[in-house]
Amino acid sequence: MKINAKNYFKIDKTADVTPTNNIIRLATKVQIGMLESQDTEKEITELDAMKDGLELQDDMADFVQRVMRYTDKQMNTINDTVSIDKFGEGVGYLIMRLNGISDADIKLSEQKQRKAIEDSKASK
């Protein structure tokens, strides 16, 4: 499948991606890390939370570089210019594409999420 994540990572490159076992395993590892980072029930020290967060950031960067085949220089540019929120959105986009969701469906989902956020702000 062809993936272009310029809207998230500011690099206009279309990668021809095959969802190989290794890429899917890395995507799953990132998803697990993201879910664990949101688990408020889990008892963890602040230091361990910071270490886990740093490891998750590294895993996410590895995932993006592997899927999109960005060079180290391109990754440095991304890491220096893209906000952590936008980077996270980009990781989510790549995972959805690897799971077979079309660009059109992703765009529609993002529009619904933005509208829900705007509606919740307006009701306050």
Domain ranges across the chain: 2-122
3-state secondary structure of 45: coil
Q: What is the mean pLDDT of residues 1-16?
A: 95
Q: Which two tokens stand for residue 32?
A: 């697990």
Whose CA is closest to 78, among 14, 8, 2? Answer: 8
- Average pLDDT of the residues of the chain: 91
Residue 93 has pLDDT above 90, yes or no: yes
Question: Tens of pLDDT along 71-85?
Answer: 999 999 999 999 999
Other Cβ atoms within 10 Å of 1 Cβ, number: 11
Region 56-69: mean pLDDT is 96
Alpha helices in the chain (DSSP H): 6-9, 21-37, 46-68, 72-81, 84-98, 103-122
Pick from 40, 37, 59: nearest CA to 50: 37
pLDDT digits (tens, 9 = 90+) for 24-45: 999 999 999 998 888 777 788 8
**Rounded to two decimals, what is the model's pTM?**
0.84
**What's the whole-number mean pLDDT along residues 117-122?**
83
- Rounded to an integer, the average pLDDT of 4-32 is 95
